[in-house]
Amino acid sequence: MKIGILGLQGCCVPHERKFAALGVDCCRVVFPEDLTGIDGLVMPGGESSTMLKAATPGLWSAVGDFAEARPIWGVCAGCILLARQVDNPSQQSLGLMSIDVRRNAYGSQNDSFIDDLELNLTAVVHIEAIFIRAPQIMQVDDDVKVLGSHGGHPVMVESRRHLATTFHPELHESMAVHEYFTGKVGRHSDG
C-alpha cells in the first residue's frame, strides 16, 4: 500500500511520520502523474487558497478522477478542498463530499484550541483534538456519516470512500485516525 500526501503547501511531514510508524509507504503528490500507483491521498492542513493557486493545470481534474475509485482524506484545508460548497469567503472546491464548510469559523490564532473528542471509528476512541484556525462543517447530506462532533458541529465525517477532519490528527499522539484511514484505503485497494 502507498499513500500520497498532496505536497503543494502545508503540513506534510507529520503525516509521513505517522504513516511510517504504521509501516505504510508515502510519497508527495504535486503533478497529476504522481497519482499513478498510489492507493489513497491525504490533502493536508495548510492554506487552501494557496493550494488552489499552487496547483499545476490538470491536477484537480486528476484528483477528481482518482477520487472515483480511491479514498481521499482531507485535513483542515484539505477538508475545505473536499467540500461541495465553501464560504467565509466563498472559494472554489472539488465537491467530492456533500458537505458545506465555513473557513476560519472559530476566528484567528488566539481562538485555536485543543479539546477532548470522542470518535466513533471501528471502536469508540477518545483523542486530544487540535483545532488550528479551523473550518466548520455547516451541513452534511445523508450520504455522509458523522464520526465525531464538537460544539454541535461535525468535525470528522466520512462518505463511502472519503474522510474529512477539521482538526489535526497528525499533530497529536494518537494513531487512531491514521489507522482508520489506512483501513479505508486497504478496503478500496485492488491488492
Partner 1 sequence: MTDEQRKLNIGLAQMLCGGVIMDVTTRDEACIAEDAGASSVMALERVPSDIRKQGGIARMSDPEMILAIKDAVSIPVMAKVRIGHFVEAQILQELGIDFIDESEVLSPADETHHIDKWQFKSPFVCGATNLGEALRRIGEGASMIRTKGEAGTGNIIEGVRHLRTILREMKLLAQLDEGDLFAEAKRFQAPLQVIQEVAKTAKLPVPNFSAGGVATPADAAMLMQLGAEAVFVGSGIFRSSDPQGFAGAIVQAVTHFRDPGKLVEVSRNLGTPMPSIGAGQLSAEEKFEHRGW
Catalytic member of 168, 172, 178, 179:
168
Between 103 and 161, name the residue whose CB sits nearer to partner 1.
103
- Nearest approach, Cβ of residue 186 and partner 1 (Å): 28
Q: Are 70 and 40 spatial neighbours (Cβ–Cβ below 8 Å)?
A: yes
Distance of alpha carbon 83 from alpha carbon 140, whole angstroms = 10
Integer angstrom CA distances of residue 112 from 64, 76, 106, 134, 174: 31, 12, 7, 7, 19
The DSSP call for residue 160 is S
The beta strands (E) that lie in the chain are given as 2-6, 25-29, 40-43, 72-75, 85-87, 99-102, 113-120, 124-131, 136-140, 145-150, 153-158, 163-165
- Residue whose C-alpha is closest to residue 83's, from 70, 72, 71, 95: 95
| The one catalytic residue among 76, 79, 158, 162 | 76
Which strands make up the sheet holding 85-87, listed edge to edge? Answer: 85-87, 99-102, 136-140
Where in 127-156 is the site for partner 1 (CB under 8 A)? 130, 132-133
Least distance CB 21 / partner 1 (angstroms): 16
Under rule CB under 8 A, residue 52 binds partner 1: yes
DSSP-based three-state secondary structure for 44: coil
Q: How many binding residues for partner 1 (CB under 8 A)? A: 37
Give the residue, chosen from 58, 61, 64, 88, that forms a contact with partner 1 under the rule CB under 8 A.
Answer: 88
Please identify, using beta-carbon distances, which residue of 45 and 74 lies nearer to partner 1: 45
Question: Which one of 41, 43, 77, 157 is in contact with partner 1 (CB under 8 A)?
Answer: 77
Q: Any contact of residue 30 with partner 1 (CB under 8 A)? A: yes
* Residue 87: CB minimum distance to partner 1, A: 10
CB of 112 to partner 1, least distance (A): 5
User: Which positions lie near partner 1, rule CB under 8 A?
Assistant: 7-14, 30, 45-47, 49-50, 52-54, 56, 76-77, 88-89, 103-104, 107-114, 130, 132-133, 168, 171
Which residues are catalytically annotated?
A: 76, 168, 170
